[in-house]
Amino acid sequence: MTTPTKEFDVKKIREDFPILNRQVNGKNLIYFDNGATTQKPQAMLDKVSEYYSNLNSNVHRGVHTLSQLATTEYENARETVRKFFNAKSTNEIIFTKGTTDSINLAAYTLGKKFVNEGDEILITEMEHHSNIVPWQMLAEERGAKLKYIPLTDAAELDYSKLDELITEKTKIVSIVHVSNSLGTLNDIEKVIEKAHSVGAKVVIDGAQAIQHFAVDVQRLDCDMYCFSGHKLYGPLGIGILYGKEDLLDQLPPYQGGGEMISEVTMEKTTYNTLPYKYEAGTPNIVGAIGLAASIDYLNSIGMEAINHYEDELLGYSEQKLDAIEGIIRYSKAKVRKSILPFNFEGVYHYDLGLFLDKFGIAVRTGHHCCQPVMQRYDIQGTIRASFSFYNTKEEIDELVTALEKSLAVLR
Ligand code: PMP
């Protein structure tokens, strides 16, 4: 495992990620699709393998040794997550399948408790479909109105509209921390404060934030915060819903089943205490333990060092790509994080993505599950390079060379 150093030793860090050694189409893999999912450190892979080889059993219900060991590891993982983004209590940490699952849980429970006919839910024009569709479904079911904070031409939220949009009718505000399609870091503190002034609850989609800088949910004072383990160098199929304990205590359960109950008779059920009230069925035990291993790994590097290095990398990539003739860059906000969306005049994004793959370069093309953003810019999609702390300036130079070669053919 990498030990913390003052110098950011990217060469050494890369040795921790076995997949970075592989070749794609005869070239060294250059992985710039970190917004979609991140690659996995050996420390996490070892932990998952060790769990299945040495510890595998079900949690919470067993008196036998393996079950007790697995339960301890699972609950230790919850504590690791709590500490990572400074929640007050492990009762506030719910293991889910991922961001999408967490937002659906939030919409269902908050909706049932707080949203009635004529009420309003506020989201933004830059949301991922995961943070649009569950609210549309809720609004339709409850007869509520869904409103959007619009985007400015500078790819930022139009905060001047907040006073008009957040009123006594607003019950829930749900907003992305960092946009996956534009890279914008939103001023969520401003939105949270305004929403709380009318008593609305605030949900944050942290899917593209938590892996890039230190998040402190108590300082933010958000009511809920959602993220996916697989974007935080952890396993697939695990995610987090953070919710303030007094809020989660008031909310109804989401899914019914084993583990979330206190007592079941044929007539009725009483529910378990937090966090188990929201973890029906056998949880993703290995996912939680693997996620904790990834967080331990990230802590060994330090989120501040990661943030600093990734900002430097993004700045370098913008400077290099802006110099290529005909580039249209969509990330224009004052504060941006690790995401570089662009197009070239007269070139279809998908074709360019296919060409880059021939150079072993993985980027994402398309609408990035943000069709309203694409509609705002009147485009079908973009090419998105998204960076991690294991990427290098040399890889960005190779991207520039590959783009120039591809454009010479495609134009
Ligand atoms: N929100 C944002 C901003 C995202 O980038 C993503 C993943 N692309 C999601 C939500 C959904 O995450 P998941 O598919 O892991 O549930």
Which residue puts its alpha carbon closest to atom 6 of ligand 1? Answer: 207
Which residue puts its alpha carbon closest to atom 2 of ligand 1? Answer: 207
Whether 357 is covered by a domain: the verdict is yes
Are 188 and 165 contained in the same domain? Answer: yes
Read off the tokens for 46.
Answer: 């070892």
DSSP 8-state secondary structure symbol assigned to residue 399: H
Read off the tokens for 25.
Answer: 């189409």
Digits of tens for pLDDT over the chain (411 positions)? 444 445 799 999 999 999 999 999 999 999 999 999 999 999 999 999 999 999 999 999 789 999 999 999 999 999 999 999 999 999 999 999 999 999 999 999 999 999 999 999 999 999 999 999 999 999 999 999 999 999 999 999 999 999 999 999 999 999 999 999 999 999 999 999 999 999 999 999 999 999 999 999 999 999 999 999 999 999 999 999 999 999 999 999 999 999 999 999 999 999 999 999 999 999 999 999 999 999 999 999 999 999 999 999 999 999 999 999 999 999 999 999 999 999 999 999 999 999 999 999 999 999 999 999 999 999 999 999 999 999 999 999 999 999 999 999 998
Whether 24 is covered by a domain: the verdict is yes
Ligand 1 site, residue 392, Cβ cutoff 6 A: no
Are 306 and 323 contained in the same domain? Answer: yes
* Best probe residue, ligand 1, of 131, 180, 367 (max atoms within 8 Å of C-beta): 180
Phi, psi of 96 (to 5 degrees): -125, -170
Residue that terminates a domain, selected from 284, 299, 314: 299
Q: With CA atoms as reference, report the closest residue to 182 among 230, 113, 228, 128.
A: 128
Ligand 1 midpoint to CA 410 (Å): 31
Ligand 1 site, residue 128, Cβ cutoff 6 A: yes
Are 295 and 306 contained in the same domain? Answer: no
Are 361 and 379 contained in the same domain? Answer: yes
238 exposure class (CB count in 10 Å sphere: 0-12, 13-18, 19+): buried
Are 306 and 373 contained in the same domain? Answer: yes
How far from chain centre, in Å, is Cα 381?
20
Number of domains in the chain: 2
Rg, Å, the chain Cα set? 22
Domain CATH for 355: 3.90.1150.10
Residues recorded for the chain: 411
136 exposure class (CB count in 10 Å sphere: 0-12, 13-18, 19+): middle
Ligand 1 site, residue 181, Cβ cutoff 6 A: no
Upstream peptide bond of 4 is cis (omega within 30 degrees of 0): no
Residue-level pLDDT at 61: 79
Are 306 and 169 contained in the same domain? Answer: no
Ligand 1 midpoint to CA 238 (Å): 12
Ligand 1 midpoint to CA 370 (Å): 10
Whether 4 is covered by a domain: the verdict is no
Read off the tokens for 399.
Answer: 């991207």
Ligand 1 site, residue 207, Cβ cutoff 6 A: yes
> What number of other Cβ atoms are within 10 A of residue 146's Cβ?
17
Distance CA 357, CA 409 (A): 15
Whether 318 is covered by a domain: the verdict is yes
**Bridge pairing between strands 382-386 and 364-366:** antiparallel
Which residue puts its alpha carbon closest to atom 8 of ligand 1? Answer: 36
Are 229 and 373 contained in the same domain? Answer: no
Ligand 1 midpoint to CA 401 (Å): 30
Ligand 1 midpoint to CA 99 (Å): 6
Whether 208 is covered by a domain: the verdict is yes
Residue that terminates a domain, selected from 299, 314, 348: 299
Distance CA 172, CA 104 (A): 13
Distance CA 197, CA 163 (A): 11
Which residue puts its alpha carbon closest to atom 5 of ligand 1? Answer: 180
Whether 5 is covered by a domain: the verdict is no
Read off the tokens for 24.
Answer: 């794609």
Element spanning 31, H or E: strand 30-31
Ligand 1 site, residue 284, Cβ cutoff 6 A: no
Helices 65-84 and 285-301, packing angle to 10 deg: 40
> Measured between alpha carbons, how far is residue 289 from residues 56, 81, 172 in Å?
12, 10, 32
Element spanning 166, H or E: none
For residue 179, give the ligand 1 atom closest to its CA. Answer: 3
- Active site members: 369
* Enclosing domain of residue 176: 45-299
Are 18 and 123 contained in the same domain? Answer: no
> Measured between alpha carbons, how far is residue 86 from residues 163, 195, 235, 273 in Å?
30, 22, 22, 21
The strands making up 170-176's β-sheet, listed across from edge to edge, are 93-96, 239-243, 224-228, 201-205, 170-176, 120-124, 145-149
Are 241 and 107 contained in the same domain? Answer: yes
Are 93 and 169 contained in the same domain? Answer: yes
Residue-level pLDDT at 1: 47
Ligand 1 midpoint to CA 245 (Å): 24
Whether 280 is covered by a domain: the verdict is yes
Residue-level pLDDT at 2: 46
Helices 99-114 and 133-142, packing angle to 10 deg: 20
Query: Which residue, chain included where needed, has tokens 């021939």?
Result: 358
Element counts in the chain: helices (H) and strands (E): 14, 17
Domain CATH for 177: 3.40.640.10
Whether 2 is covered by a domain: the verdict is no
Distance CA 139, CA 116 (A): 9
For residue 176, give the ligand 1 atom closest to its CA. Answer: 3
Ligand 1 site, residue 130, Cβ cutoff 6 A: yes
Cβ atoms of 237 and 98 within 8 Å: the answer is: yes
DSSP 8-state secondary structure symbol assigned to residue 175: E
The structure's pTM equals 0.97
Are 229 and 132 contained in the same domain? Answer: yes
Distance CA 185, CA 336 (A): 5
Are 93 and 110 contained in the same domain? Answer: yes
**Bridge pairing between strands 30-31 and 224-228:** unpaired
